[in-house]
Amino acid sequence: MGNIVWLASYPKSGNTWMRAFIYNLIENPSRPARIELLPDYFESESKPCWYEPYLDESKPEQTSFDEMMALRPRVQQDIANSVVRGSVFTKTHNQFTHYNGTPLHNMNVTAAAVYIVRNPLDVLISTADHFGLSFDETIDFMGDSNTGALSNAENVATFLGSWSDHVESWTLNPHPQFVVLKYEDMLAKPKQAFTRVAKLLGLDKDKQRIKQAIAFSSFRELQKQELQTGFVERSPDSKAFFRKGQKNQWVELLSDNQVSKIVDQHRNQMDRFGYVPPRYRKSE
């Protein structure tokens, strides 16, 4: 078994919030950890620096999507080897699948994973804001099984697929070392939700430590810090990375037609997690 612990999610589903909790849990600081420390404390499997040794003199932006996908197993082996002992917590937005026969997550170096799933109706709101898209454009983006992001100066190419593809890939086949959390449970039942992660990491005995880590990584705290110092992962298309952190924002922002499109595209996975609004459920 390897040493990579994946922190996985479809974009705008709570990945950064989870990273803030884990940082505060492990380091157990006397005051909330600064959010500018998160990108350096956690690895990202999409950092260009990991891929550049395999690209001769070309840059990731000049390398094809297929080539970047094919490099995943080797790069992830390098990430695992970068830590002499202990776990390396690594962010990923890639679907848990194969691309042209290549696994996008190297299970030979994987120890565990935390996957966060969020109501796609709310993901739509946050994704539209983050990428500067309209709601209708975001519906198409989230429904496209070929959705991916091309390489740029900050991140190499990633393969998402549709929201349903992404969620199903990480959650359909239970894995003993994979914890699946609902974003909504992180909001409504933080003690129970975050204790599951603490247990995965072997840090669930100290209840006060968990309570403090939850408080130090609260959405209000993260918003306050971003307002004071900014956050490097904020998109230039968005006014803030930590927007509202609430559920059911879609109720006031989406039209009936837009809700219907999302439900029609993603009904099976939404059903699994209880996300289909009552009026859009099919009669028995």
* 65-113 pLDDT per residue, tens: 999 999 999 999 999 999 988 899 999 999 999 999 999 999 999 999 9
Residue 175 CA to residue 157 CA, distance in Å, equals: 26
* Burial bucket for residue 280 (CB in 10 Å: 0-12, 13-18, 19+): middle
152 lies in some domain: yes
* 115-157 pLDDT per residue, tens: 999 999 999 998 898 788 999 999 999 999 999 989 988 899 9
User: Given this model, what pLDDT does residue 244 score?
Assistant: 56
272 lies in some domain: no
Number of domains in the chain: 1
278 lies in some domain: no
How many other CB atoms are there within 10 angstroms of residue 47's CB atom?
18
Print burial letters for 220-246: b (CB count within 10 Å at least 16), e (below 16): ebbbebbeeeebebeeeeeeebbbebe
279 lies in some domain: no
Q: Up-side HSE of residue 183: CA atoms within 13 Å toward CB?
A: 25
User: Given this model, what pLDDT does residue 57 score?
Assistant: 76
User: Given this model, what pLDDT does residue 249 score?
Assistant: 87
User: Given this model, what pLDDT does residue 230 score?
Assistant: 58
- In this model, does residue 283 exceed pLDDT 80? no
How many other CB atoms are there within 10 angstroms of residue 132's CB atom?
11
The four Cα atoms 131, 132, 135, 137 give a dihedral, to 10 degrees, of -70
Query: What is the mean predicted confidence (pLDDT) over 40-52?
Result: 93
Q: Which of 149-153, 190-194, 222-226, 231-235 has the lowest mean pLDDT?
A: 231-235
Q: Which residues pair with 241 in a beta bridge?
A: none
Residue appearing with tokens 């082996």:
77
Confidence of residue 35 (pLDDT cuts 50, 70, 90): confident
What residue numbers bound the domain in which 76 lies?
4-120+147-238
User: Given this model, what pLDDT does residue 252 score?
Assistant: 87
Residue 25 CA to residue 63 CA, distance in Å, equals: 38
65 lies in some domain: yes
CATH number for the domain spanning 63: value is 3.40.50.300
15 lies in some domain: yes
21 lies in some domain: yes
* 237-277 pLDDT per residue, tens: 545 454 555 677 888 889 999 999 999 999 999 999 999 99
Supply angle C-alpha 280, 282, 284, rounded to 5.
150
- In this model, does residue 200 exceed pLDDT 80? yes
Reduced DSSP (H G I as helix, E B as strand, rest coil) percent helix, strand, coil of the chain, to 5: 50, 10, 40
273 lies in some domain: no
Q: Which of 14-23, 40-49, 171-180, 232-241 has the lowest mean pLDDT?
A: 232-241
Is the pTM higher than 0.95? no
* 173-193 pLDDT per residue, tens: 989 999 999 999 999 999 999
User: Given this model, what pLDDT does residue 240 score?
Assistant: 47
Query: What is the mean predicted confidence (pLDDT) over 158-169?
Result: 98
